[in-house]
Structure 1
Amino acid sequence: MNYTKYIFIVLAIVLSSCGAAKKVKGSKTAKENLSVKNIIASHEAASPSFKTMAARIQVTYEDDDTQQSVTVSLRMEKDKTIWVKVSLLGITLVKANITPDRVQYYETIGGTYFNGDYALLSDWLGTEINFDKAQAILLGQSIFNINKADYKSTVLQNKYKLQPNVQPQNFIHSLFLNPENFKISSESLSQPNDERLLSVRYTDYQKVGTDFYPSEIKINTTEKDSKTNIDVIYKKIDLDVNIGFPFSIPEGYDEIKL
C-alpha cells in the first residue's frame, strides 16, 4: 500500500476563515424563495470559529488492491497549520506538517520524506489543492470560492443545490447544503474528458461549542478504471486547547522530488 499517497489524499480531501456575513436562521425544510446571496452568506458564516483544534479520527481506506483502517491524530491552528500523525497498532506510519506555503511529511515504512509545495498533492488529486481547500474539507466548507454573481441555487431533495451559472470546459462543480446549518452535505468535481471524479459527502455533523463540525466524511475518487474510497470518522474534537506541532524529518530518509 502506498501510505504516502494515502495520507495526502486523506489530508487534501480529508484535510476558510471565519465568515463575517450575517447568517440566515436554518430550518428543517429548504426554502424555495431563499436567495443565492443569503444561502452563500449563511454557508460562509457557518465556518467554525476556533484558534486551535485537536481531534482523533478513524480513517478507512480502500482502493483496487487494499483495504486498511488507521487511527489519525489531527491538530490544527486555524489558517496556519494542519498537523497529522497516522498510527497503526501504536506505530507511527506517517507524520505531516502543512502550512499555507509548505507541505512536509515523512513515512516510516519506505523511509522517505517530502518537503516542498502543493504540486505533488495537486498532481495526485487531479485538481489544484492548497491549504485553504484542505482545511475547508476537514471543516465541512466548500473547497471553492462561491459568489452570488457566478452561482445559481435550486432546492433538490430538501437541500440547497449550488452550481455555476456556466460550467467551465471539462470542469463540472456542484454542492448541496443542509438547510438546518448551511454546512456541506455533498460536493463534487467532475472532469469528464479525463474520466476523473472527486466526491465528498458528509453523512452527519456534531455541534461542538457553538459551531458544527463533521462527524463523518465519505470521500470517493475515480480516475479512469481506478477507484479510491475513504471514510473519515471524527472520534473526538477538543477546541482551543494548548497543543504543539512537533515535526522533524528523521536522518537517513530519502527525499521525494518532483
Structure 2
Amino acid sequence: MNKSVLLLALTGLGAGACHRAVPTKKGSAPGVTTSTSARTGKEAAVKAVDFDSPYLTAKGKVQATIKGDQKTANINVRMRRDSAIWVSVGLLGFEGARALLTPDSVRVINRLDKTYFAGGYDYLTKLLNVPVSFSQAQALLLGNYQAAPAGAALTLGTGPNGGQKVAFPLNGVIVEQLIQAANKRVEKLTLTETGTDRALTADYADFQAVEGAKAPFANSLLVDARQGSTSTKASLKYSKVSAGREELSFPFERPKGFERVSGKK
C-alpha cells in the first residue's frame, strides 16, 4: 500500500510520524481520559480540560515531508467520540485515500494504487513504527490530555506562563505535557526515549471556540519526529471545525476491483 497517502491521512489524526520515535511495549501505551471528572489520585490535580463534544467535523490542509519528498493534501475528518474516526484525503482535486478507525478495527481505501485494507492496529503500528490505538488517535486529534497508567510516577510542575507541566516515565520513555493556564488545554505533548536521540513532539496552537463545545479546539497542529540530526515534520491547519450532537455518517464501501492487501511489511 502506498505509504505516503496513508501517512498524510494519519497526520490528520496527529500521528504522522514516519520514524521510530518512541518504542513502548504492546498494550502499555499511555491511557486517555475522556472526562476531567474521571481522574483520580494525583491525576485529580491536573487541570487539563478535554474537548469532549459527541461529534466533530473538520476540514483543513495537511503538509508532510516523507523521505525528503514534500506532500500536500486537503483533509476531511469526522468523529463520533469513542466510536469512529473517518478521514478523507484529497490530492489534486480527487480523493486519494479514505480511512475509518473504530476501537477494534482499521479500514483503508487507497484509490491511487486501487488497494483496500481491513484489519487491526498492529498494521498502523508497523507502518508508523510507533504504537497506535484508537484512544491515542482520538486524543491526538482532539488535543486531549493523556493520563499516566496506573502505577506510573507522575510529577506535576509549573509550565510556561503559569500553566502546568505534567510528566511520567513509561517503559524507557518520558511523556511530558504542557497545559495552558488560560484555557486549560494541552498545548504540547513530548515523548522522549531515554538514553537515545529519538523524540516525538506535537504542538497545538490557534485555539478557537467551537459552537456546540465547551472547550476551545486547536486549529493548528505541528508534529515533529526527531532521530539524531534527522527531523520529519508534518503540519495540519484546519479551516473549518464544527461540533455538537448532530448524527454524522461515515461512508465507507470497498470499491469493486480493488485488491485487498494484508498490511504486512
Normalised to the residue count of structure 1, the TM-score between the two structures is: 0.82
SS at match of 1:176: strand
- Name 1:139's counterpart in structure 2: 142
- Name 1:120's counterpart in structure 2: 123
Report the Cα distance in structure 2 between the residues aligned to 1:64 and 1:114, rounded to whole angstroms: 23
Report the Cα distance in structure 2 between the residues aligned to 1:114 and 1:243, rounded to whole angstroms: 23
Q: Which runs of 5+ in 2 are unaligned?
A: 17-32
Q: 2:238 aligns with which of 234, 240, 258?
A: 234
Q: Give the share of equivalent positions with the same residue, in percent.
A: 22
**Structure 2 counterpart of 1:176, one-letter code:** L
Per-residue deviation, residues 163-188 of structure 1 (Å, max 9, x unmatched): 12xx3453121111101122111111
Q: 1:212 aligns with which of 216, 220, 232?
A: 216
- Name 2:257's counterpart in structure 1: 252
Structure 1 window deviating more from structure 2 (138-147 vs 92-101): it is 138-147
Report the Cα distance in structure 1 between the residues aligned to 2:42 and 2:36, rounded to whole angstroms: 16
- Name 1:199's counterpart in structure 2: 201
Using a 3 Å threshold, how does the CA distance of structure 1 residues 21 and 181 change in structure 2: closer, same or farther? farther
**Structure 2 counterpart of 1:101, one-letter code:** D
Quote the offset at 1:238 in angstroms.
Answer: 1.6
**Structure 1 counterpart of 2:260, one-letter code:** E
2:117 matches 1:100: no
The question of whether the paired residues in 1 share the 8 Å contact of 2:176 and 2:191 is answered with yes
SS at match of 2:36: coil
- Name 1:27's counterpart in structure 2: none
The CA RMSD measured in Å over matched residues stands at: 2.6
- Name 1:11's counterpart in structure 2: 13
Q: 1:2 aligns with which of 1, 4, 21?
A: 4
**Structure 2 counterpart of 1:214, one-letter code:** A
Using a 3 Å threshold, how does the CA distance of structure 1 residues 89 and 242 change in structure 2: closer, same or farther? farther
The question of whether the paired residues in 1 share the 8 Å contact of 2:74 and 2:91 is answered with yes
Per-residue deviation, residues 119-141 of structure 1 (Å, max 9, x unmatched): 12222333321111101011111
The question of whether the paired residues in 1 share the 8 Å contact of 2:11 and 2:62 is answered with no
Quote the offset at 1:144 in angstroms.
Answer: 4.4
Indicate the structure whose relative CO is greater, using CA pairs within 8 Å and at least 6 residues apart.
Answer: 2
2:95 matches 1:78: no
The question of whether the paired residues in 2 share the 8 Å contact of 1:12 and 1:129 is answered with no
Q: 2:113 aligns with which of 110, 123, 129?
A: 110
Structure 1 window deviating more from structure 2 (141-150 vs 104-113): it is 141-150
Structure 1 window deviating more from structure 2 (99-108 vs 47-56): it is 47-56
Report the Cα distance in structure 1 between the residues aligned to 2:197 and 2:128, rounded to whole angstroms: 13
Normalised to the residue count of structure 2, the TM-score between the two structures is: 0.80
Q: Which runs of 5+ in 1 are unaligned?
A: 23-34
The question of whether the paired residues in 1 share the 8 Å contact of 2:11 and 2:236 is answered with no
SS at match of 1:13: coil
Report the Cα distance in structure 1 between the residues aligned to 2:117 and 2:236, rounded to whole angstroms: 24
SS at match of 1:137: helix
The question of whether the paired residues in 2 share the 8 Å contact of 1:134 and 1:143 is answered with no
Q: 1:161 aligns with which of 137, 162, 165?
A: 165
Aligned residues: 240
- Name 2:187's counterpart in structure 1: 185
